[in-house]
Chain A
Amino acid sequence: MRDVAVIGVGMTKFGELWEQSLRDLITEAGMKAIADANLSGSDIDGAYVGTMSAGKFVGQEHIAPLVVDMAGLSNTHIPAVRVEAGDASGSVAFREAYLAVASGAHELVIAGGVEKMTDVSSSQMVNIQSTSCDQEWEAFFGASMSSLYGMMARAHMHRYGTTREQLAAVAVKNHANGVLNPNARFKFPIKPEDVLKAGMVADPLTTYDCAPASDGAAAVILCSMERARKFTDKPIRIAASVQASDTIALHDRRDICTMDSVVLAAKKAYAQAGITAEKVNLAEVHDAYTIGEIMAIEDLGFAEKGKGGIAAASGETALTGRIPINTSGGMKARGHPLGATGIAQIIEIVDQLKGRAGGRQVKDAKFGLAQSVGGTGATAVVNILEGGL
């Protein structure tokens, strides 16, 4: 396997983008990525598109060739693959693109992610989001995705003494970061009491504990490390890309306070990158719900198991803290267009490692990690990127 680099990135703003269709979104993100990599587009020889539920959100399946078509590349006849792994779809698309280049089968590949969520009603939205859970044995009985994360939060509070204030600290921090991200959906700061007093979605999680369903798309261009310098003077190396799985239903997990898939993916990713958690300078993690970020920093080794809440509340994960988490604003403030999220995480890491993250720049960042979760942890992806090469 050869080393692979990210040579270009592009994304739309995330939010309620009433005037843009799914096609518009992914085309915009793709064009920006191609431009960022100084490509014409015709040299791309493969496309991977992550989308969780285009079929249910906008009635369109067979998304991958559509995306290539909209990008004006239909006459290149390149293979186009749609990837679906719940809200980890984008991350898995990224990993598939990485493997395609690393194996030597492809030279220049685009990995995109997109979701157009706001064309459906809010109760339909709840249903579609929960399609990445077990439909027959969770959703059928009335479980929403937020209620499953609510159960994780409740168990974490019960076992480790994690508090609602600590959960709120995650949202407050991510909003503070979102203020500094031009592409973020929420660019306003919030206070802990805003989170605590917000309407309950699924106890103990309020509206502000949940990432907002959003529209958006993101894309990155990958090529071999040796070719990368032809396109950029700051290639970002993919130091590790690992995926793991677990039971589809939360109720079948060994432990609902730990995502074994994340623990395993992280362990393998650190080994592949030849580093330890301490070497990571910043991370984008799956904060679809605030409890998700707390469990993520524990499972990734940034905090001791059960101490994630304390770490979040103490400022250790803030922009200026020991290990800045979700400098982009995370899914909470950047927005969470399911399939696009994984790619957006990669983009944040790339921008940070390239030193072009503006007001939210983490100084001297060399290693950045992106962790993505599908459903309640049935899919986990950990990607580690290396800059300064």
Chain B
Amino acid sequence: MTVPRFWREIPQRYNLIGSKCGSCGTVDFPPRTICPHCRRKSIGKMEDIKLSGKGEIVSYSIVREAPEGFEIQVPYAMALIKLDDGPTLTAQIVDCELEEVKIGARVEAVFRRIQEESKSGVIYYGYKFQLAMPQVK
């Protein structure tokens, strides 16, 4: 990752800004320039939409052999999360016991450090998810 590459996607990574097709209403994340359903009809009709950050685990895996920069975090849970707004995304599940990560579990977005360029480099923040705190309405 490099600084400009990261900076360009800040709205998506910090605030889950997706896109909504003005033609068919399909919501995509990350935002798309063209709706995969309407294609030409969607040109100029794609609007930004802020996603709720709430969703459900579709599937998951516990990473024990990590990519560079993630080694110290192992074992950690990566999951496919189907957001209530429609799209599915890939994110880490944090702040729970790994046994609590289950298909169908309700989760919500949190804001965390994802990577850093180096010890002296820029810190890349973004979304991770945690199990929904049940007592909170």
Q: State if A and B touch, Cβ cutoff 8 Å.
A: yes
| B contact patch SS | strand
Find the B residue at minimum CB distance from A138: B90
Q: A142-B114, A251-B90 are in contact. Are A147 and B63 (CB under 8 A)?
A: yes
**CA–CA, A148 and B114, complex, Å:** 18
Whether B135 sits at the interface, judged by CB under 8 Å, is: no
**A252 adjacent to chain B (CB < 8 Å):** yes
Given the interface pairs A137-B30, A252-B88, A256-B58, the reply to whether A126 lies near B65 with Cβ below 8 Å is: yes
B15 to nearest A CB, angstroms? Answer: 15
Which of B67, B81, B91: most chain A CB closer than 10 A?
Answer: B67
Size of the A side of the interface (Cβ < 8 Å), in residues, is: 39
A127 CA to B68 CA, complexed, in Å: 6
Q: Is A155 an interface residue (CB 8 A)?
A: yes
Please tell me if the beta carbons of A123 and B66 are within 8 angstroms of each other in the complex. yes
Contact A141 B79 (CB under 8 A): no
The one of A127, A141, A154 that contacts B61, using a Cβ cutoff of 8 Å:
A154
Per-residue B-contact encoding for A232-251, CB less than 8 Å = 1, 0 else: 00000000000000000111
A136-B30, A141-B114, A158-B103 known; A126+B90 contact, CB < 8 A: no
Contact A199 B67 (CB under 8 A): no
Chain A residues near B63 (CB, 8 Å)? 142-144, 146-147, 202
Taking the closest CB of chain B, its distance from the CB of A214, in whole angstroms, is: 16
Tell me the complex Cα distance, A152–B59, Å.
7
A195 to B70, CA, bound (A): 25
Q: Could you tell me the distance between the alpha carbons of A153 and B78 in the complex, rounded to whole angstroms?
A: 13
Residue of A nearest to B70 (CB): A142
In the bound complex, what is the Cα–Cα distance between A122 and B5 (angstroms)?
Answer: 25
Residues of A within 8 A of B84 (CB): none
Contact A144 B65 (CB under 8 A): yes
Q: A151-B59, A151-B61, A202-B62 are contacts. A141–B92 as well, Cβ < 8 Å?
A: yes
Q: Give the number of residues in B that approach A within 8 Å (Cβ atoms).
A: 37
Pairwise interchain contact B103-A142, C-beta atoms closer than 8 A:
no
Would you call A123 and B80 a contact (CB within 8 A)?
no
- A141 and B126: CB pair below 8 A? yes
Partner of A142, one of B5, B58, B66, B87: B66
CA distance A199 to B64 in the complex (A): 9
Q: Chain B's nearest CB lies how many Å from the CB of A124?
A: 6
Answer whether A142 and B92 are a contact pair too, CB < 8 Å, given A136-B30, A152-B59: yes
A205 neighbours in B (Cβ, 8 Å): 61
User: Could you pull out 16 A-B pairs where Cβ atoms are within 8 angstroms?
Assistant: A127-B68, A137-B90, A140-B126, A141-B91, A141-B128, A143-B90, A144-B78, A146-B63, A147-B62, A151-B80, A199-B64, A200-B64, A200-B75, A201-B65, A250-B90, A251-B58
- B-binding residues in A (CB < 8 A): 122-124, 126-127, 130, 134, 136-144, 146-155, 158, 199-205, 249-252, 256
Q: Give 15 new A-B contacts, CB below 8 A, not counting A123-B67, A142-B66, A147-B62.
A: A140-B1, A140-B115, A141-B127, A144-B63, A144-B78, A146-B63, A147-B61, A153-B61, A202-B61, A202-B63, A203-B64, A204-B61, A249-B90, A251-B58, A256-B80
